[in-house]
Amino acid sequence: MSAPAPGHAAPLGLRHLHSGKVRDLYVVGDGDPGEGRLVMVASDRISAYDVVLEPTIPDKGRVLTQLSLWWFDRLADLVPHHVVSTDPPDGCPPDWSGRALVVERLAMLPVECVARGYLAGSGLTDYERTGAVCGIELPPGLVEGSRLPEPVFTPATKAALGEHDQNVSYEAVAAAVGADVATELRRLTLAIYRRAEAVARERGIILADTKLELGARPDGTIVLADEELTPDSSRFWPADSWQPGRPQPSYDKQYVRDWLTSAASGWDRGSGEAPPPLPAEVVAATRARYVEAYERLTGLGFA
């Protein structure tokens, strides 16, 4: 599934606003795009290392959307979410069913709100270089996959399409959004992570880290937006095979990253050239991991 590219015809009654690595946004009606409601469509695109890859992963957009909705319900007492309706407006393509949401128009906060309970990814890189992540000192002797003494808030800047998010300090967040909002972002991010980590652990999955998108209503209320706690925005590891000191098996797109940087892909990340197409077996295995994450977390079958 792919939505119309910018400049192409949108479904009747919608106006294309923005396309990201995975999602496409449309304005409902002809009003001011800063007001009213949006339609958010999760495509089957997949990105890694800030590049959108080919081909797409079948059903990925539906997995992301349905898993986000499941989490929104389980976090509603901690933070409101932006979903107004799960029914696409009349006239939308049939394949938008299950992947399109009508959502509130929010003032999105310019911060990637990241919580980490385990050491991996850019957090591991920062720790190996400085002994800290986002200025937070961590105990010596940690290794890849180590569980942290307590979850930490490790924010990042939001990068433009094709650019890489950069980890920043809490002080940088406070300078960008104000001290009161920064305090609330940290509180919410850690509360959401702790809730989700406990839920996932009950189902045999370790939530190593997650990235949240938050926006504000006109009255200042902070709202959970975009997609949350999915294999695109989180690291999910099978708890029964967790072993610090090595890369962990995962239910997320780390599998795709690992293939891209393997000898099998033949791709040099530093070459400036586009990555090669994903082989059919990598596409199938990636889809299977996303579906398994959904089914293990929710207890529901994916159809």
Looking at residue 6, what is its pLDDT? 39
Share of the chain above pLDDT 90, in %: 83
Residue 4 lies in a domain: no
Amino acid present at 156? A
> Are 130 and 115 in a shared domain?
yes
> Are 157 and 179 in a shared domain?
yes
CA atoms within 13 A on the CB side of 198: 7
- What is the domain count for the chain? 2
How far is 233 from 64, CA to CA, in rounded Å? 10
> Are 156 and 293 in a shared domain?
yes
Condensed to tens digits (0 to 9), the pLDDT of residues 154-178 reads 999 876 544 567 889 999 999 999 9
**Which domain CATH number covers 40?**
3.30.200.20
Share of the chain above pLDDT 70, in %: 93
The mean pLDDT value of the chain amounts to 91
Report CA torsion sign: 118, 124, 129, 132: negative
Please compute the mean of the pLDDT values over residues 224-239 and round it to a whole number.
95
Instruction: Quote helix, strand, coil % in the chain, to nearest 5.
Output: 30, 25, 45
> Are 73 and 135 in a shared domain?
no
> Are 205 and 116 in a shared domain?
yes
> Are 48 and 143 in a shared domain?
no
Give the ranges where the chain is alpha helix by DSSP (H). 60-75, 121-130, 170-177, 179-202, 254-260, 280-298
Please compute the mean of the pLDDT values over residues 261-285 and round it to a whole number.
94
- Residue 78: pLDDT band (50, 70, 90) is very high
Please compute the mean of the pLDDT values over residues 285-298 and round it to a whole number.
96
Q: Decide which of 82, 104, 126 is a domain's last residue.
A: 104
Q: Which of 26-30, 205-209, 229-233, 284-288 has the weakest average pLDDT?
A: 26-30
Higher pLDDT, 7 or 136: 136
Condensed to tens digits (0 to 9), the pLDDT of residues 2-21 reads 444 433 457 768 999 999 99
Q: Supply the range of the domain harboring residue 64.
A: 14-104
Residue 191 predicted with pLDDT over 90: yes
- Residue 65: pLDDT band (50, 70, 90) is very high
Is the Cβ–Cβ distance between 251 and 290 less than 8 Å? yes
> Are 171 and 118 in a shared domain?
yes
Higher pLDDT, 122 or 4: 122
How far is 74 from 91, CA to CA, in rounded Å? 31
> Are 129 and 236 in a shared domain?
yes
Is the Cβ–Cβ distance between 39 and 101 less than 8 Å? yes
- Residue 32: pLDDT band (50, 70, 90) is low
> Are 211 and 83 in a shared domain?
no
How far is 236 from 147, CA to CA, in rounded Å? 13
Looking at residue 64, what is its pLDDT? 97
> Are 54 and 154 in a shared domain?
no
**Which domain CATH number covers 177?**
3.30.470.20
